[in-house]
Amino acid sequence: MAVTRRNILKDPAVLQKFCDGVNRLKNDFTGPTTRDVGVPGTVQKISTYDLFVVWHVRAMMTMTPSNPDDEGRNAAHRGPVFLPWHRFMLRQLELNLQRVLKDQTFGLPYWDWAADGELKPADQPKSPLWAPTGIGGSGKPITTGPFVFKPADPTSFRVRIATNSNSDPVQVNRGLSRALTAGVSTLPNKRATRDALDDKPYDAAPWTVSSARFRNRLEGWKPSLGLHNRVHVWVGGDMSPASSPNDPVFFLNHCNVDRIWEAWMKKNGRVYLPGDDASSELKGHRLHDDLSSLISAPTTPAAVLDSTQQFVYDSVDV
């Protein structure tokens, strides 16, 4: 039976379960070691949560393919695969949260940032999401909420995998950093999300950050800092580098991005481009190409276009 993904600001029980589940995954050392996943430094077990951080970094640093004209298109971003890859990643996190929470009915919640984007700029960082009873606010490190670093408590939330200036993964041991509004003063609003639903087809040549179609509008390259990208910059801190899944709000952001994609598909059909007949230069982004994977067996964009047997949203009114 499909689980329901709910608005985290409208369901306190879901908020509490999400935070509890994240902290459990941070202390779930049932997987590989840092050496196994190519993180240099002391060989030690890596938590299930931190595997998602490494997965994201690796995908961002895998060019698909590497050529002078791809504008940084990689295995998860800057190209058509952006939405399918993140849907795949979200589902793997959801399954792992269900496992540690022992609750097969748990659905990953989303943060409707466009609703907060309707507030005055000064009020946006005052949303209940950033309260101590939410997920905490700004700070380097943050000092409120459920993800506070306590040096003497090895079970407290801590950033263990970050990236250096070359975007390579490195081992650290510190608290979570956020800098709300430091990069940009406002979140995307509802008009911007509604406008995206009218943009079609899904994607088009040159299949990069220069594409002027739905995927690129939602990813946030055209217009510049449009939707998803603006949220990352607005949150700042650990949401800025390739290791952005360090901040649990990463998943709340991307769940909302996925919700917008679901709304687009309900309006325009479960269609995806490019197809299998596209140029080999688009390998990794075509309909039946394998998606980059670290957590489970790979899947394809075609396999995730209709996930309604696995999850649904309480609302796709964006």
Residue 296 has pLDDT above 80, yes or no: yes
Q: What are the strands, taking DSSP E only, across the chain?
A: 3-5, 159-163, 169-174, 311-313
Count of C-beta atoms within a 10 Å radius of residue 30: 9
- Return the pLDDT at 68: 63
Per-residue pLDDT averaged across 24-50, rounded?
96
Output phi, psi for 75, to 5 deg: -75, 0
Fold for 3-311, please state it.
Answer: di-copper center containing domain from catechol oxidase (1.10.1280)
Residue 24 has pLDDT above 70, yes or no: yes
- Return the pLDDT at 21: 98
Q: Hey, what amino acid is at 104?
A: Q
> Which structure tokens are listed for 125?
């960082």
- Return the pLDDT at 157: 98
pLDDT (tens digit per residue) in 222-279: 988 999 999 999 999 999 999 999 999 999 999 999 999 999 999 999 999 999 999 9
Q: In 3-state terms, what secondary structure has residue 74?
A: strand
Distance (Å, rounded) from C-alpha 298 to C-alpha 287? 13
Residue with tokens 């202390």: 27
The answer to whether residues 7 and 317 touch, using CB atoms and an 8 Å cutoff, is no
Per-residue pLDDT averaged across 195-207, rounded?
95
- Binning pLDDT at 50, 70 and 90, where does residue 67 land? low
Beta bridge partners of residue 5, listed in sequence order? 313
pLDDT (tens digit per residue) in 151-194: 999 999 999 999 999 999 999 999 999 999 999 999 999 999 99
Output phi, psi for 94, to 5 deg: -60, -45
Residue with tokens 């390739």: 242
For β-strands 311-313 and 169-174, DSSP reports them as unpaired
The answer to whether residues 76 and 82 touch, using CB atoms and an 8 Å cutoff, is yes
What residue spans define the domains of the chain? 3-311
The answer to whether residues 291 and 92 touch, using CB atoms and an 8 Å cutoff, is no
